Amino acid sequence: MKLEDLKIIVTGGAQGMGRTFALELAEAGASVVIADVNEAGLAETLEASKGKRGKVFAKKTNVAEESEIAALVEFSHKELGGLNGLINNAGILRDGLLVRKDKETGAIKKLTKEQWDAVIGVNLTGASLMVRDVVAKMVETGSKPGVIVNMSSVARHGNRGQSNYTAAKAALAANTVTWAREFGPYGIRVGAVAPGMVETPMTQGMNQKARDALVAAIPVGRIGLPEDLWLAVKFVLECDYFNGRTIDVDGGLSM
């Protein structure tokens, strides 16, 4: 698809990769709705979009809430005059070892169900319901071709301290194949992009020692930038023969 023909939702559009994706799309002439729980961040993205070729709209949305997803899709279809794309980018971290023994007290600590549910609720259930409702609207209105980009992660291969995140991102990559097969008859492609470590507000909150060790292990010698990931997302959006696959963009970290 041509970027200028897109009428697309970008979740997690208040900051980080989502903001970059939205602004790049607007620069190319696409019509975009950004969604996030961070109202201040949404306003900043809207301000940054002024003067670009495409139109950008914003709607506060918690993708862990089914009713808010439904409202977002209806809002987007109305404001954009249709809907033919989704960048499924919203995500959170609640890291922790599944089980660990405290070095000082010997007490056994477990990942809490609240930590598990929070990540699964946003990163998997919310992401899946976003796909469901966007595709349902496309099919209902006969909008095709259409394209979905799921943001997975190289953590889907397994990563210490991220059982919840790994489970969600692995499921998204697997369902990229499932959904490509299901939605093909409707003219809708589904692809995924799996970032490694990227400079975003989420990774900036990491433990500094762990962050430094991870960056040191990246063969290209630096942390990724949201602009690096945009190049992969752009490819998925534009290449009409790309479908049902996940592209790792990690600087060689997962080799």
Catalytic site residues?
165
Q: How far is residue 190's CA from residue 183's CA, in Å, rounded to a whole number?
A: 8
* CB contact at 8 A, 137 and 83: yes
CA angle, 112 then 90 then 122, to 5°: 35
Query: Any idea what DSSP says for residue 96?
Result: B
Q: What is the Cα–Cα distance from 124 to 34, expressed in whole angstroms?
A: 19
Q: Which segments of 111-210 are extended strands (E)? A: 146-151, 188-195
Report the distance separating Cα 229 and Cα 204, nearest Å: 17
Beta bridge partners of 148: 86, 190
Beta bridge partners of 33: 9, 57
Q: Which two structure tokens, joined as six digits, stand for 239? A: 């290449």
By DSSP bridging, strand 108-110 and strand 99-101 are antiparallel
Q: Is the separation of the CB atoms in 115 and 109 below 8 Å? A: no
- Rounded Cα–Cα distance for residues 28 and 187 (Å): 23
Length of the chain: 255
